[in-house]
Structure 1
Amino acid sequence: MQVPVNGPDPVPQRLDRLALRGRGGDPALVDRTGALDHAGLNRAVGMLAAMLLDHATIGDRVACWLPKTRTACLLPLACARAGVVHVPINPLLKRAQVAHILADSGAVLLISQPARIATLEPGDAAGAVLIDEAALSGERTPLAASRPDADPYALAQILYTSGSTGRPKGVMLSHANLWLGAVSVAHYLGLAADDRVLALLPLSFDYGQSQLLATWAAGACVYPLDYLTAGDAVKAVGRHGITTLAGVPPLWVQLVEAGWPETGAPSLRRITNTGGRLSIPLVRRLRTLFPAARLFSMYGLTEAFRSTYLDPALIDRHPDSIGVAIPCAEVLVVAADGTIAADGAAGELVHAGPLVAGGYWNDPERTALRFRPAPAGSMLGGTAVWSGDTVMRGADGLLRFVGRDDEMIKSAGNRISPTEVEEAAVAAGAAEAVALALADDRLGQSVLLIARGDGDTARLLAAMKRDLPNFMVPQHVVWRDDLPRNANGKLDRAALKQDHGA
């Protein structure tokens, strides 16, 4: 398959070879235990890979349930070098979810910490050997990097979704998926060897893992941080001269509310967002707070790594856009009849090309629903991911997110985008907002808005009525002191639906 890439190295290789891309003496990883240069990174990956083969054989699944320790950072490359399949588990998940992932993946090994291992009950890790990460330290003869001609399409990782809307499902990612994704992101972000990337997001989250892989693809340095408050991130940016900061919308809300110095963050060159669209007011606040930083608005889904990005030069004029396809991706807007939707018409976002995952592990039924042949209008063909998300492509070629089909509110014959209602609420003064559908005998569904802010419902609704048609104005408003977040830091819509009977 020809890879549509506007950048370097379009031919995929085995993932572990990312450890060879930096200049030997330049820093690659700085954490609480010290610093590793790129030569040290390659050696550490090789030693850990050798230790993994003491407990597993090629093709086995190896799970990791850790915060951002050095072991957790090295495991994606070390598992790839050892020929085992990496199964990262979000450190915020609890024993029942961990037990499901271990059983579903058939992991033979779980690398964790004593306190976490102690929470597991008999039978939770049946078939898996439990190992304290401390047992994987020490000197070993490093395992050599894989050959350049080794199979890049072999399974490298099973990345489980957060499970906020049901039991986590495992997305199967090949070395090629991860290699091309890392190179693509490093290229369009313009990462360079002197960049310093602060890794705030969970490494089990595709966006969080991308911070590691894209950084090393560029030969740059990553600073993993398990933070307690947004203030911890502010301090880390200043202390390390961080140039690149990634987040999801709820995290950005916390960061813009944090106490930044009067000088802001002059070292920041770029800030990036995915996992939900930034509201226009939040875009404005970020641009004011970090005027020298390039703001990348992006869209992605675990099943295809990343799909689109907006050129930062366009963010002020098009703050509501998710941009165009990233290198290595073909992104289509498909109408209900399977044809390519006209400009200005809504359709389903369909992603084709070499970033498309191999389906869901051990789940052919759900795989068949989401991974289907690309539409006839696709240039690349093959299997595509049908996202379930509704988008529109403008005459300018830019995509705009409308909403998820399963989240659209259908009221009195009108289809209402929750995102549009939420953005109007934030523009009207709410700090954060989630719009949900409530069953309504008269309308079919009515709009429930759950908001964090000053609690002034009358003022909020008056402002929203100026910006929205009447059918989109919420019929019900509930104020909360805080909104729940899932394990990846996104607002937990499933928990709010359960709390409010939506």
Structure 2
Amino acid sequence: MPSTLDPRPRPLDHLAERGKAGAPALVLRGGTLNHEDLRTRVGKLAAWLTDRADKGDRIASWAAKGEATCLLPLACARAGLVHVPVNPLLKRMQVAHIMTDSGAVLLVANRARLGSLADGDLPPGCACVAEEDLWAQVEQCDPLGPSDHDPGDLAAILYTSGSTGQPKGVMLSHGNMWLGAVSVAHYLDLASDDVTLGVLPLSFDYGQNQLLSTWYAGGCVVPLDYLMPKDVVKACSRHGVTTLAAVPPLWVQLVEIDWPEDAARRMRRLTNSGGALTEGLVRSLRQLFPKARLFPMYGLTEAFRSTYLDPALVDSHPTSMGKAIPFAEILVIDDDGNVAADDAEGELVHAGPLVAQGYWQDAERTAERFRPAPRASQYGGTAVWSGDRVRRAADGLLYFVGRRDAMIKSAGNRISPQEVEDAAVATGLVAEAVAVGLPDERLGHAVSLAVRPLAGFDLETFRKALAAALPNFMLPRTVRAYAELPRNPNGKLDRNALAAEMAA
């Protein structure tokens, strides 16, 4: 990588122009695309999209990792459209909300997923294209060349759960995503001979950046939808993977598997986000991959990513979040709005060009999270006030203290308690429900549910109804019935009391 960072944002689709023509760029089940193929295929897909949508329209994808889901971020950007990637684990209720909220004009998904949708799930006039039929149409198009779009134009809407209500769409510009790719490629020191295994969902900013930062460096991505952790190990061995990103629950499983010596030896870097690594897990990873550099990271979808810990400090400071990534300004602000003193707790505030443009069509929640930067900010402008409590040591390293809201983070997924609670009440079997996250060694937190049943409640029937409404990662591990749920002095359901009781 170049020794200096270029802070100038570009149109996102220019990432397709970075690699050498004959070098591998994307390994698919049906073959490998080199970087020249990547440019051509992105251009053809962009041309196909311009015949079906107007500038600024939203294009949604709801499919497993494949050529369409990997290329749509750049193809939509080239066509002046806005990509809305939908997590393939989500079910009809969540997908219908995202489609309606975003007002997407086109949905690309496989036939089975399209067949699961009902009347009214899609916005009026939204067209559907089966992934299986897509490329026969795209091949007939002449490719569009690189765009000259304003880097401030909207490029993607990524839906993320909040502590209350339905998922909200985070608006990311071309510049947000371009500079995110530049930043990560630099601090990971990615190179053109690197091979990244893409195991994280492409609907996550962390998962999507696996593509973008690798292509910025001219490297190659191997997207993988794995069923078992052993599939990850096999893919690393088969493809000579040098870069692996995961969340703590997957790392726990991966360190319990016997790795071929060549696969472990070729690994250059490991990156973690979606929850903190325990000291024991850090030691296990260091033992299994002695030549790989380990990068613990902390991020916010609203600002892409905030901090990383220098691998040289992992052994001596295994619980630290590290310091700001390139292009990010991270401040710890006390309750009076001032920079907190060393080792004093405060709110993590992220300023700078990685800050997103707010929440799609949600001015109220945008105003809560996206507020003027603190007085001490060098960037100024709008900052993301995370709600996370952290402290900064005298050496500048940051440490996570806790969340201010009730968000549950399980297996790297952000889960809205209210979304689980709404689904529980919608079954018609319970009158009230409270979802909490309880500490879990493998998941980080496991979803637990307290309910006040209605007459005729049956636990097995209730669980089946939840499974039909929620994706697997949202399903509660435990369900506890109460004749009356505890309330605080204001008459509200007492989430903290329930969490303490259920954890006992």
Conserved 8 A contact 2:390-2:399: yes
Partner Cα separation in structure 2 for residue 96 and residue 217 of structure 1: 36
Shift of 1:82: 0.5
Q: Which residue of 2 aligns with 1:38?
A: 35
Q: Among residues 116, 121, 127, which one is paired with 1:119 in the alignment?
A: 116
For 2:270, the aligned partner's letter is I
Shift of 1:403: 1.1
Partner Cα separation in structure 2 for residue 371 and residue 125 of structure 1: 29
Conserved 8 A contact 1:231-1:259: no
Q: Residues 270-419 of structure 1: matches in 2 within 5 Å?
A: 270-407=269-406
Q: Which residue of 1 aligns with 2:144?
A: 143
| Most deviating of 123-132 and 37-46 | 123-132
For 2:265, the aligned partner's letter is P
For 2:292, the aligned partner's letter is A
Q: Which residue of 2 aligns with 1:95?
A: 92
Unaligned runs of 5+ in 1: 409-417, 423-435, 437-446, 454-483
Q: Secondary structure at the match of 1:288?
A: helix
Partner Cα separation in structure 1 for residue 10 and residue 262 of structure 2: 42
Partner Cα separation in structure 1 for residue 99 and residue 406 of structure 2: 30
Q: Which residue of 2 aligns with 1:132?
A: 130
Partner Cα separation in structure 2 for residue 61 and residue 82 of structure 1: 11
Q: Secondary structure at the match of 1:29?
A: strand
Partner Cα separation in structure 2 for residue 6 and residue 161 of structure 1: 34
Partner Cα separation in structure 1 for residue 236 and residue 130 of structure 2: 31
Q: Residues 439-478 of structure 1: matches in 2 within 5 Å?
A: 451=440
Shift of 1:106: 0.4
Shift of 1:406: 2.2
Partner Cα separation in structure 2 for residue 347 and residue 7 of structure 1: 32
Q: For residues 488 and 121 of structure 1, do their structure 2 counterparts lie closer, same or farther at Cα, with a shift above 3 Å needed? A: closer
Partner Cα separation in structure 2 for residue 375 and residue 129 of structure 1: 44
Q: Residues 222-301 of structure 1: matches in 2 within 5 Å?
A: 222-261=221-260, 265-301=264-300
Q: Secondary structure at the match of 2:264?
A: coil
Partner Cα separation in structure 1 for residue 266 and residue 14 of structure 2: 29
Shift of 1:126: 3.0
Q: Which residue of 1 aligns with 2:22?
A: 25
Q: Secondary structure at the match of 1:111?
A: strand
Conserved 8 A contact 1:264-1:289: no
Partner Cα separation in structure 2 for residue 178 and residue 343 of structure 1: 32
Partner Cα separation in structure 2 for residue 126 and residue 160 of structure 1: 17
For 2:106, the aligned partner's letter is L
Shift of 1:451: 4.4
Q: Secondary structure at the match of 1:272?
A: strand
Shift of 1:448: 9.2
Conserved 8 A contact 2:25-2:220: yes
Q: Which residue of 2 aligns with 1:47?
A: 44
Partner Cα separation in structure 1 for residue 248 and residue 471 of structure 2: 11
For 1:69, the aligned partner's letter is G
For 1:315, the aligned partner's letter is V
Partner Cα separation in structure 2 for residue 105 and residue 287 of structure 1: 43
Partner Cα separation in structure 2 for residue 450 and residue 394 of structure 1: 26
Task: Give the TM-score normalised by the residue count of structure 1.
Answer: 0.81
For 2:6, the aligned partner's letter is D
For 1:92, the aligned partner's letter is L
Q: Secondary structure at the match of 2:170?
A: strand
Conserved 8 A contact 1:6-1:327: no
Partner Cα separation in structure 2 for residue 89 and residue 286 of structure 1: 31
CA deviation profile, 1:25-81 (whole Å, cap 9, x unmatched): 111111101111111101000000011122111110000001101110000000000
For 2:294, the aligned partner's letter is L
RMSD: 2.6
Partner Cα separation in structure 2 for residue 46 and residue 87 of structure 1: 19
For 2:304, the aligned partner's letter is F
CA deviation profile, 1:222-257 (whole Å, cap 9, x unmatched): 000111000000000011110000001111112112
CA deviation profile, 1:74-111 (whole Å, cap 9, x unmatched): 00000000111000000000011000000000001000
Q: Residues 47-66 of structure 1: matches in 2 within 5 Å?
A: 47-66=44-63
Shift of 1:7: 3.5
Conserved 8 A contact 1:173-1:358: yes
For 1:136, the aligned partner's letter is L
Unaligned runs of 5+ in 2: 411-416, 418-435, 443-466, 482-497, 500-504
For 1:275, the aligned partner's letter is G
Q: Which residue of 2 aligns with 1:204?
A: 203
Q: For residues 6 and 174 of structure 1, do their structure 2 counterparts lie closer, same or farther at Cα, with a shift above 3 Å needed? A: farther
Q: Secondary structure at the match of 2:321?
A: strand
Partner Cα separation in structure 2 for residue 268 and residue 95 of structure 1: 38
Q: Which residue of 1 aligns with 2:176?
A: 177
Q: Which residue of 1 aligns with 2:427?
A: none
| Most deviating of 133-142 and 187-196 | 133-142
Q: Which residue of 2 aligns with 1:152?
A: 151
Q: Secondary structure at the match of 1:208?
A: helix
Conserved 8 A contact 2:163-2:406: no
Partner Cα separation in structure 2 for residue 346 and residue 383 of structure 1: 22
Conserved 8 A contact 2:160-2:169: yes
CA deviation profile, 1:116-164 (whole Å, cap 9, x unmatched): 00000111013211111233214220011113xx310000000001568
Partner Cα separation in structure 2 for residue 365 and residue 262 of structure 1: 53
Partner Cα separation in structure 2 for residue 393 and residue 382 of structure 1: 23
Partner Cα separation in structure 2 for residue 66 and residue 30 of structure 1: 17
Partner Cα separation in structure 2 for residue 284 and residue 165 of structure 1: 36
Conserved 8 A contact 1:7-1:327: no
Q: Which residue of 2 aligns with 1:104?
A: 101
Partner Cα separation in structure 1 for residue 330 and residue 12 of structure 2: 24
Partner Cα separation in structure 2 for residue 404 and residue 327 of structure 1: 24
Q: Secondary structure at the match of 2:322?
A: strand
Q: Secondary structure at the match of 1:121?
A: coil
Conserved 8 A contact 2:240-2:263: no
Partner Cα separation in structure 1 for residue 245 and residue 67 of structure 2: 20
Q: Secondary structure at the match of 2:265?
A: coil
Q: Secondary structure at the match of 2:296?
A: strand
Instruction: Using the aligned pairs only, state the percent identity.
Output: 63
Shift of 1:407: 4.8
Partner Cα separation in structure 1 for residue 201 and residue 69 of structure 2: 10
Conserved 8 A contact 2:91-2:471: no
Q: Which residue of 1 aligns with 2:424?
A: none
Shift of 1:450: 5.2
Conserved 8 A contact 1:201-1:207: yes
Q: For residues 164 and 333 of structure 1, do their structure 2 counterparts lie closer, same or farther at Cα, with a shift above 3 Å needed? A: closer
